[in-house]
């Protein structure tokens, strides 16, 4: 299989960005809090009036930004707004009860602690840029504002890792490649941007993801990871993902060598199976995901599984050694076989 490995929701993100970038003018505002402790906890409440009242005191400029965005971009009026003041689990329950048929929500807060909360509740947060026009010295000036578009997907692409479909081609070639976990986060980010451009992985969200990866920000059992595939000493494929309990979510990836992306996915599936992960979340269903065995499930079924498996912890690491030949995972070869020992120099 010659895969089309790329951003989790490349097609959907492009459509969303086109809608958002049609917006007109609003006042520029960069006052966004980065500490979760600044937010009042409104347990068991999604009352927007209470949230607005609190934000009018704590974050008036951010509240103005939200109102201006909604005024300038009509599409945002159809998507639920998320803030750190929301009870996100309860909001998801409301969307499920109403049979919410879209995949988008939106928010102007994008610090790492809030992203962790979104991961924990089953969202895939992607970034978007908003065109903004202001009048400065009697001249129009256009700049871009960043937003998060946390996705929940009406239909989700998921599988148990044991359901992976591995082709003869992958089994034949996998002995040439090695897999590592969390060894080159920056290299994976560079490969993704090199392959796809910044797309939704803008510098600001790269920074927040790295804070989670480096455990500078912690929230329950949420972790950020990088997966690397090596051919000799060259990084030829990889992805960013996150874990919550025994759930692994693939966010975005790249490949530099033919078939490397598929081999990386197959090795990752076997690694997840070995570590007893119960759910592999691949976001939106795309042809290459279907070819490796991923299935469509409803939003309701996804959240039922997510809320079950996020409480069952699994350890995400490469077994036996830090740099493992993919044939050990895919073909069951003995990891001590001298013919497949990695070059660790």
Phi–psi pair at 341, nearest 5 degrees: -70, 135
pLDDT, position 245:
98
| C-alpha span between 200 and 193 (Å, rounded) | 10
For the chain, report the end-to-end CA distance as a whole number of angstroms: 32
For 163-183, what is the mean pLDDT? 96
Contacts of 102 (CB under 8 A, 6+ apart): 78, 79, 154
Range name among 125-139, 229-243, 291-305 with the lowest pLDDT average: 125-139
Residue 269: the pLDDT is: 98
Tokens 């102007």 belong to which residue? 108
**3-class SS string, the chain:** CCCCCCCCCHHHHHHHHHHHCCCCECCCCCCCCCCHHHCCCCCCCCCHHHHHHHHHHHCHHHHHHHHHHHHHCHHHHHCCECCCCCCHHHHHHHHHHCCCCCCECEECCCCHHHHHHHHHCCCEEEEEEEEEEEEECCEEEEEEEEEEEEECCCEEEEECHHHCCCCHHHHHHHHHEEEEECCCHHHHHHHHHHHHCCCCCCHHHHHHHHHHHCCCCCCCCEEEEEEEEEECCEEEEEEEEEEECCEEEEEEEEECCCCHHHHHHHHHHHHHHHCCCCEEECCCCCHHHHHCCCEEEEHHHHHHHHHHHCCCCCCCCCCCCCCEEHHHHHCCCCCCCHHHCCCCC
How many other CB atoms sit within 10 Å of the CB of residue 131?
A: 17
Give the model's pLDDT for residue 145: 79
> So what's the pLDDT on residue 133?
66
Average pLDDT score over the chain = 86
**Rounded distance between C-alpha atoms, residue 331 and residue 309, angstroms:** 28
> In which band, very low, low, confident or very high, does the pLDDT at 67 lie, cut at 50, 70 and 90?
confident
- Please state the rounded mean pLDDT for residues 5-20: 44
Q: How far is Cα 156 from Cα 316, in angstroms, rounded to an integer? A: 22
Can you give the pLDDT at residue 77?
86
- Cα of 1 vs its chain's centroid, Å: 24
Query: What's the pLDDT at 2?
Result: 41
Whether the predicted pLDDT of 289 surpasses 60:
yes
- Tell me what percent of the residues of the chain surpass a pLDDT of 90: 67
pLDDT digit string, tens, across residues 85-98: 999 999 999 999 99
Dig out the tokens for 132 from the structure: 């903004």
Q: How confident is the model at residue 43 (pLDDT cuts 50, 70, 90)?
A: low
Return the pLDDT at 136: 76
Taking CA 203 as the corner, what is the angle to CA 197 and CA 208, rounded to the nearest 5 degrees?
Answer: 130
> pTM of the predicted model, to two decimals?
0.85
- State the average pLDDT over residues 140-144: 76
Asked whether the predicted pLDDT for residue 172 surpasses 90, the reply is: yes
Give the mean model confidence (pLDDT) for residues 153-163. 96
Q: Take residue 160 and report the two structure tokens written for it.
A: 């148990």
Domains and CATH numbers, the chain: 48-151 (no CATH), 155-331 (3.40.630.70)
Q: Which residue has the higher pLDDT, 147 or 44?
A: 147
Among 27-36, 92-101, 131-140, 203-212, whose mean pLDDT is lowest? 27-36
Calpha distance 283→251 (Å, rounded): 8
């Amino acid at each position: 299989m010659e895969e089309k490995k790329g951003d989790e929701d490349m097609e959907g993100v492009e459509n969303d960005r086109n809608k958002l970038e049609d917006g007109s003018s609003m006042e520029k505002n960069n006052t966004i809090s980065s500490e979760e402790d600044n937010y009042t906890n409104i347990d068991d409440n999604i009352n927007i009036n209470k949230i607005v009242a609190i934000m009018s005191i704590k974050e008036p400029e951010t509240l103005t930004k939200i109102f201006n965005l909604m005024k300038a971009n009509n599409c945002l009026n159809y998507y639920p707004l998320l803030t750190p003041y929301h009870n996100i689990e309860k909001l998801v329950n409301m969307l499920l009860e109403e049979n919410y048929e879209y995949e988008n929500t939106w928010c102007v807060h994008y610090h790492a602690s809030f992203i962790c909360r979104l991961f924990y509740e089953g969202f895939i947060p992607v970034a978007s840029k908003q065109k903004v026009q202001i009048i400065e010295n009697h001249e129009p000036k256009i700049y871009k504002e960043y937003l998060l578009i946390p996705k929940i997907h009406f239909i989700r692409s998921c599988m148990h890792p044991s359901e992976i479909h591995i082709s003869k081609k992958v089994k034949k070639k996998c002995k040439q490649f090695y897999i590592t976990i969390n060894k080159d986060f920056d290299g994976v980010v560079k490969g993704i941007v090199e392959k796809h451009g910044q797309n939704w992985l803008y510098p600001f969200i790269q920074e927040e993801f790295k804070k989670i990866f480096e455990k500078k920000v912690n929230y329950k059992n949420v972790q950020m990871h990088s997966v690397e595939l090596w051919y000799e000493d060259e990084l030829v494929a990889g992805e960013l993902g996150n874990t919550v309990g025994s759930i692994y979510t693939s966010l975005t990836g790249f490949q530099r060598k033919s078939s490397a992306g598929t081999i990386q996915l197959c090795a990752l599936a076997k690694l997840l199976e070995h570590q007893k992960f119960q759910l592999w979340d691949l976001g939106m269903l795309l042809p290459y995901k279907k070819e490796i065995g991923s299935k469509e499930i409803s939003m309701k079924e996804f959240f039922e599984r997510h809320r079950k498996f996020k409480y069952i912890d699994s350890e995400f690491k490469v077994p036996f050694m830090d740099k493992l030949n993919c044939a050990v995972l895919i073909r069951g070869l003995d990891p001590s076989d001298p013919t497949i020992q990695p070059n660790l120099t």
